[in-house]
Structure 1
């Protein structure tokens, strides 16, 4: 069995945004992908901030057993993809480990790049089948396409920090994270693969929809805390949600 594709999510305290992205990505992407998180100024050993934990619980995810930790170079080196919550976090990751530039993006940037990955005006089909392989395939393409995404509002690159803020800010942060995760999952869970060179097997396929579990689903057990990259059990997928709906949520103007 091949090694898992490893994603690291990064925010400041590692108790609000990056854990939310960690839990949502882990559920949405499934087997073969491991997700961990860390903070540039982590509140070490703290659990997920209660207001964010409540939102994750309402979405069917338990954060029991979570402990915040510092972002250190070894975590960056060990990740195949780093998804930062803001441009500032992205810069801190690349400053710590410059060679991580090609695999470090903000979460919303990565989602938009995947959504706009097109060929002849249509979503570009993948050459690979498994989600971990598609992540590896697209991350290489995303590094080449980094400058092609331009948000009308530069703030859309970032997920706002809700810590000790009003409930509406927690709502907006959770909305942006979950919408970006839905968009990523929708693109990666597409059926089919891209046409190969002449004489090679393969067929074209379109983008599918996310299989993320929606609110009301059973609570998922907390991930194992004994090792950063241990993949926990995955719940059965719930109802699918279209990528278009995820994009409307991601780029909607519901400002706090």
Structure 2
């Protein structure tokens, strides 16, 4: 988490965060990885690295079959996913942190207060990024989106910046959440593509 890095070869790192790292964050990371790979996107000549972690990873947790199905439906690669506990090092190493809910965003900020500048819920970042100006690299995109927090009106209902937890909620809920994450991540992938060169 070091801001713009246009003069170095280091990758731009995106970290998705939810609770168990088996549903929302795993799905978001897998969809974004697939979208970026399909478009052969790099961030202004920098590789984009995507990962995910959870604030409450439990022993023996695995991705539910319903989430695996959603990931495959949107081009993701769920095989081999191992839930990763969120820690301070992961937060410190990220350039953009996308959380499932406002509570997860707060968890990240408590873990490393300076990370609050680059931490957004998925709906929040997608909403703000949609109107962000054109930039030369993904670090600048994050800076522009962060600058809009105080100037762009929040949603009428604060809950609109959250993604519901589909865990054990039924097939229809998994599909609805999958559709929502796919829509949000697709917009984010497009903005990252616009902020970087195609390899």
Q: 2: distance between equivalents of 1:61 and 1:102? A: 28
SS in structure 1 at match of 2:149: helix
Number of equivalenced pairs = 181
Pairing 1:108-119 to 2, within 5 Å after superposition: 108-117=123-132
Q: Kindly state the Cα deviation for residue 14 of structure 1 after the two structures are TM-superposed.
A: 0.5
Pairing 1:71-90 to 2, within 5 Å after superposition: 71-90=86-105
Q: Kindly state the Cα deviation for residue 192 of structure 1 after the two structures are TM-superposed.
A: 9.8
Pairing 1:94-113 to 2, within 5 Å after superposition: 94-113=109-128
**What is the RMSD of the two structures over their aligned residues, measured on CA atoms?**
1.9
Unmatched tracts of structure 2, length 5 or more: 1-7
Matched, 1:9 2:16: yes
Q: 2: distance between equivalents of 1:67 and 1:191? A: 30
Matched, 1:166 2:175: no
Unmatched tracts of structure 1, length 5 or more: 118-123, 194-256
Q: 1: distance between equivalents of 2:71 and 2:139? A: 27
Larger RCO, structures 1/2 (Cα 8 Å, 6+ apart): 2
Could you tell me which residue of structure 2 aligns to residue 65 of structure 1?
80
Q: What is the TM-score when the length of structure 2 is the normalising length?
A: 0.84
Q: Kindly state the Cα deviation for residue 185 of structure 1 after the two structures are TM-superposed.
A: 2.0
Q: 1: distance between equivalents of 2:95 and 2:59? A: 24
Is the CA contact (8 Å cut-off) linking 1:112 and 1:149 kept in structure 2? no
Q: Alpha carbons of 1:110 and 1:76: their partners in 2 closer, same or farther (altered >3 Å)? A: same
Which of the two has higher C-alpha Rg?
A: 1
Q: Kindly state the Cα deviation for residue 191 of structure 1 after the two structures are TM-superposed.
A: 8.7
Q: Kindly state the Cα deviation for residue 35 of structure 1 after the two structures are TM-superposed.
A: 0.7
Is the CA contact (8 Å cut-off) linking 1:18 and 1:38 kept in structure 2? yes
